Chain A
């Protein structure tokens, strides 16, 4: 398929679409991940899951800018969001090579049921402790995932993982420090941290659920089987929680364990998030910024 002929979404965009030359160039492999490879249908679906996780979390974190408890935290959460957008761009670009869609097509022109992120990432910011609890679970999970995905037999996924893991290491450190600070801070900060962990942890199990897609991909050495990441994830969390004198919730999370995000079922929080994220692109189709 040649890049210039691609525009399966002409009907969605109306008669205004992204610049065809720019799109052809991007799909030829000069986008953020630098790959010229075209993803298989399975690898594209997997990249979409990972890309959506990063994109949705980045959007949530961006909402903290100018609202965080201190100026430095505006900057930190903004920078973490920027790293995640970088990861999402690479992953969505790669996912799009399978269907002739650009990373912007995938970010701005899909509706809720087409998003493949896990529920954890779309959970609301809550108070600062809720954001930090979500951030701890997310960054520890992403760190374990990317450090294993470095060995993927898919060179594009391996390169994205090798790049991302170094950045996620800093995100994990940031979340850990805040958990320690809030849990060991005032009575009120500790109370809120405890509550945030109780509220957040039901969404953790979904991250480690295997299904037919990841089993096929893992058998080919392309994906990491999510269930195999759980022991390492729990070990790191237990270490942080031991230091913060917190307990990891167990046993009460089965009702959300299967989630549904990977198959396009979402909680009520994704819709408003997408509305805000996509409004500009949809109001001005084809605009570049």
Chain B
């Protein structure tokens, strides 16, 4: 469909123009933050504290705002609560008018971007951004592309061109960053000296003392706050915390996750109006601090409603460190401008946009979330960012108008979704139905899928990219095979349920067979009951009601086994992630916990058996079974959700114990994540993301190419033009197969 093509074109252009700068910068910061956080042993403890502080503060927000008002006026300042952007802009303008101000200097603040303060004031006032990145954006007349690096999409050469065009310079500037920094610093510095008012944001606001906290490296926020005699701080209501001591965990976290520094150059705690005398550079005298004027504008603009919204509330805990932007593979390719959003972008930007702006823009952004979850461990306040993206997608789906072909799909895929839902989403969300139909006559389905007619139909109606090979149906499903073969372990110590995920069941039963053989070799009796698809497919399309229904059916099919003492063993990491974490949102707490406690990644389970005394020699090693193991080399790509859950280490431990020589890639989501890479509008993005995996893993000649996830394997197959295997296939003995 043409809108799909337009979207693909837009994204391609962005990757060409901004991709290189944004990619280099985000990946670098991402690496720095990973190293920093990895070597900071109090990370988890401080995250817990930070999370608890935010939860309590949002809960008690109205009370905190009352206390804050008292504290600010006791200090000699004034607190204003603005209902929406227009209200905030009116308040700000009144303050400037009252003070007779003409020139305003600003330090970086996302909240003022949200209000579009500059556009509002510029006809009547001179407004100058003092953060150098923000200044570049102001000169270029663009919007920020990243929460903490507004000009991150521009290279030094881009900035030099911009300045040379915008200013009438005697000598053109070179692309030397030092020269550019000096130039911008001087220009901006002069404005600060003769500004009438300074506007800052506030990273935190303290109810008890009326203090604000500003986190910066450049020092411009300090200058903006104390040089002019009027200071206006503009920030969201969600920034209020009760006491100064509550700021301690944030002081230690915000730079680590944001930039990879231990702490930024300046963390300013101010209870304005501050005591420091006012420098009057024109008269060359210091004026008394009593002449200072301070206004704190707290902006609601949808936030109080978000507070009442079960699913969006967590967004208010966000401290805007930008870590989720950097950790996101698609963001690394596209930058914030590709995600869209009026102000906020990438990662948590969806939640912010949905809360403070229109759902429409937020819906488009949330589609770029593949649900890979690599942002989750990076978030200093432990926000479940993928869930927020899913919720926003779901709400967007529900707002959609019914389309032309709905009658067709409604009949085929009776689900819980509204009739306006996009056909493409519906196709991927109901992939189990498609698979079941196909597997009735796999030969025919495969032959049909190979035709260009099928390609055309799929691309035309559901947006499956022609350039992707579709998986082939197996001649026999895993359960058909197992049903004919039967269990091979008598008198077992343990019994497990092997979860027949959709892909293993219909397309790749070999890895299921390998799992059976490996488990049996270690004395475990395996059952493979009929269990529905986990709900991952509809969840990844934002079809929450359908996903919930699936989750309930899965729970129903498995709970009896768990009650009888059987563990659930899972091959596909994204299904493990469903059971262990996503079901938290879909099932009653007890049901989720019971299933989560008894679900294991297949390699994790094997690891556990070996640790508990099972004989590793029963498994296959590099040179076949038992003895004579060589030093076979393996290039291993685990799976994002496995890494977020912290279970990928079991695969490496088992393979290494068996004698494989292993090397691993650790790039973020390789760009497939289920349906994402099949969608024609995102095909090129997924290939661009894949390139980083290719670069990270390098050549794999003479090595076994191994991946845990289906979608990763599909991507690797395309990138290397050879098939990747699942790790369990390396450890399963041949005996016992049919």
**Real binding pair:** no
Binding site for B on A (CB under 8 A): none
Binding site for A on B (CB under 8 A): none
